[in-house]
Structure 1
């Protein structure tokens, strides 16, 4: 039986425990939910464009798979583990298992929207986070075990961090941590998980040699993915105000400004080395700026957003060199952009958060950061960042190694799959028709070559050296 729904004289929904839910705010949060949803395939296109074309489709597929798996996980117990009102300081319980008692009850985020609206909005954050992380598996993983990994990782990593950050019972929330839209739960947790995944999987075949060219196969996809992400980020940050008010507007303004400055700064840093105006560099910087402004977007003014963009575009750009320094293969620089960018954003929030900006919604009261002479805020932000980094890295590593000792759940694919591509080996489908045509023509060419030598047996296997030459030619034509 559906619960009774009543309205006050102005037409707003009446809350069960008194007060009203503003229908304009509900509409804004639901619209923001749709904006954040479009970011998830945006991540897929962004990642896909950066990969070689024989692995292009699998990354777009993974973005949609993640939405489906996390949607079920969130319904099953994810929302309850993160936001149950009787949670402890670290994680919730199963009071809201299968979304029991999640409808017209007051939400954990705002008294102006009901729990069911808050639930579906937070689902989008839960879905995009593992998608950011599993970009680290690109070009060298089995797709089946990722279904299990996403479900388990969301349960054991994302849900606890979301609980301690945003649930009023969480330790960071109680301590006074400021994270408006997901610096730690989304970006630090996913970026650090990507590092753990990269270390576990090891390097791609031939990585670090001159034999194989690892260049973006489709820069248009990179730009398209960036457009989806930038567009959706207005809902990601602006929607986190959970109300259509001045604070949401300010969050949208600083989001756009930080992305713009971050893109320009990263591109200029790349120009100094290559003397080329890199579209990939601009897009990478824009994403870094968006990541950095995420925890601060509801707390800082427009001048601070310029500094956020500059620092993100600079620090994250240089952080991409960490993989060469420490010799790990972070395929898509996820740790540099998201984990490092999230830490930059968290720390700058401790410096530039303002009580006046946060209070623009008429509800929120905070002591501010260093600008408001609240000097301990930087220490709180540092503690929150360090906790997210360490917890995500350790727990992700544990999950990966437990799965490793269950043979059918091992993530790393075999060498043959790497040679022919994950799309062909794991999906039997391709992003482009000519990838399949080339796969058919190569054995036929080998057949003709061997036939002239007197042998009539076709060669249906591709040696590593032959594949390398074939791939080098394909990449050269794409470039």
Structure 2
């Protein structure tokens, strides 16, 4: 029996009959509506990543990246149902990983969530599913242009279980070691951006370079800047739900998170674009969009803790450091086709460190109930050490575990990820999907000679056509 009623104001009241005397917990329909709206906003970010990545690639692989977004969401939705939510957010979790208390979403309905007593567990569950699906989508972009699509389903399921769920548990679960230590990560600096960016680095090293990479830079130019801009629009729009929704209530703290998100993204886009302009003296739309994404990743952990002036610094630092971090692949010698490590792992680390410095008790208290000791601005200097430890743990754990998953799959028949050279030359869309992002005929004419009605590749004469 579900112990819920509605008071005269329309608020939902849950009665915990297990206590003596029974305790009433009041849920606000407005808070529930805001979190569910934020869920839809974050959902939109997943195809947004697909369009952003697709535009950065060559035309013959454009559809596969958009496809990856939807198939990742579907795979993680089932993983989250089976045990993902329980491993990350069970009440009886260890400092590192949860148990199967909520296997198959058992016991997930009207009781208060572990994230906030102001929303039911069911609402919190579906909201967190969007984070769980968005994170591996960031990482699988590293498979672009040189990976089989079928084994990706197994990789996403395994990676979500072995990498994302433990990091989410130690960061956000009340029993997690980073949470208990005092780490401040509002919306996913370590669980989302550091974990996915570092996984992309491991994937890039495992797969090796694409054919021709490093010899013909023009051949690897983004094929559709419009897709890049469209993906950025989806991501910016959804990020208000990503950061603002993490307040789990429609309150002043959620509004502040939205404000600093907008400021940081704007500063980051302009900064990256200006750094690119100094080299080519051109105003790059792709550069601007790259800076926006890097800055949004950086502000994510601090969005519920920092003020508007600090948000400008988050954007400028991310737009600068992440721009130069894209050069790492040339010095180290790996092929990160979409610069995911630079744009997410580096940005997430920047965000964690700046959050430790600029977090304020007053900002966190905008919701009326959150109390923190703050960062360096509030004289709490140990916060920086905690955040460095958390960032290093996320970097090391994600890289090691992702590498293990990749090499285990490498030796399992049917799960090897790297495609043959011929498939890479023709394109993933042609060989793995048999479908294309653009006109079928035009692409086939690029790949092989046209067969005319006379059965040859020679255009028929007027007499032959009239015969």
TM-score bracket relative to the smaller structure:
over 0.9
How far apart are the structure 1 equivalents of 2:176 and 2:268? 32
Instruction: Please state whether the residue corresponding to 2:4 is helix, strand or coil.
Output: coil
Aligned partner of 2:87 in structure 1 is: 81
How far apart are the structure 2 equivalents of 1:323 and 1:308? 24
CA shift, 1:3, in A, is 2.1
Q: Unaligned regions of 5+ residues in structure 1, if any?
A: 453-479
Instruction: Please state whether the residue corresponding to 2:6 is helix, strand or coil.
Output: coil
CA shift, 1:106, in A, is 1.2
1:199-218 mapped onto 2 (5 Å cutoff): 199-210=205-216, 213-218=219-224
1:2-401 mapped onto 2 (5 Å cutoff): 3-17=2-16, 18-210=24-216, 213-401=219-407
Cα deviation, 1:354-386, whole Å, max 9, x if unaligned, reads 000001101110000000000000000100000
Cα deviation, 1:162-186, whole Å, max 9, x if unaligned, reads 0000000000000000000000000
Instruction: Please state whether the residue corresponding to 1:6 is helix, strand or coil.
Output: strand
- For these two proteins, the number of residue pairs brought into alignment is 449
Aligned partner of 2:461 in structure 1 is: none
How far apart are the structure 2 equivalents of 1:262 and 1:411? 34
Aligned partner of 2:19 in structure 1 is: none
CA shift, 1:263, in A, is 0.1
Cα deviation, 1:34-88, whole Å, max 9, x if unaligned, reads 0000000000000000000000000000000011000010011000000000001
How far apart are the structure 2 equivalents of 1:363 and 1:182? 21
Instruction: Please state whether the residue corresponding to 1:16 is helix, strand or coil.
Output: strand
TM-score normalized with structure 1 length: 0.92
Please, what is the CA RMSD of the aligned residues?
A: 1.5
Q: Is the 8 A contact 2:295 2:318 kept in 1?
A: yes
Instruction: Please state whether the residue corresponding to 1:141 is helix, strand or coil.
Output: coil
Q: Is the 8 A contact 1:206 1:212 kept in 2?
A: no
Aligned partner of 1:469 in structure 2 is: none
CA shift, 1:105, in A, is 1.1
How far apart are the structure 2 equivalents of 1:230 and 1:254? 12
Cα deviation, 1:180-202, whole Å, max 9, x if unaligned, reads 00000000000000000000000
Q: Unaligned regions of 5+ residues in structure 2, if any?
A: 17-23, 459-467
Q: Is the 8 A contact 2:268 2:295 kept in 1?
A: yes
Instruction: Please state whether the residue corresponding to 1:123 is helix, strand or coil.
Output: helix
Aligned residue among 423, 429, 433 for 1:423: 429
CA shift, 1:22, in A, is 1.0
How far apart are the structure 2 equivalents of 1:4 and 1:451? 74
How far apart are the structure 2 equivalents of 1:172 and 1:196? 24
Aligned partner of 2:448 in structure 1 is: 443
Q: Is the 8 A contact 1:83 1:163 kept in 2?
A: yes
Cα deviation, 1:430-475, whole Å, max 9, x if unaligned, reads 00115x4342465326999x999xxxxxxxxxxxxxxxxxxxxxxx
Q: Is the 8 A contact 2:266 2:292 kept in 1?
A: yes
Instruction: Please state whether the residue corresponding to 1:424 is helix, strand or coil.
Output: helix
Instruction: Please state whether the residue corresponding to 2:228 is helix, strand or coil.
Output: helix
How far apart are the structure 1 equivalents of 2:188 and 2:217? 40
How far apart are the structure 2 equivalents of 1:451 and 1:21? 70
How far apart are the structure 1 equivalents of 2:413 and 2:204? 19
In structure 2, relative to structure 1, the CA distance for the partners of 1:64 and 1:438 (3 Å cut) is: closer
In structure 2, relative to structure 1, the CA distance for the partners of 1:430 and 1:378 (3 Å cut) is: same
How far apart are the structure 2 equivalents of 1:262 and 1:442? 40
How far apart are the structure 1 equivalents of 2:210 and 2:223? 17
In structure 2, relative to structure 1, the CA distance for the partners of 1:372 and 1:150 (3 Å cut) is: same
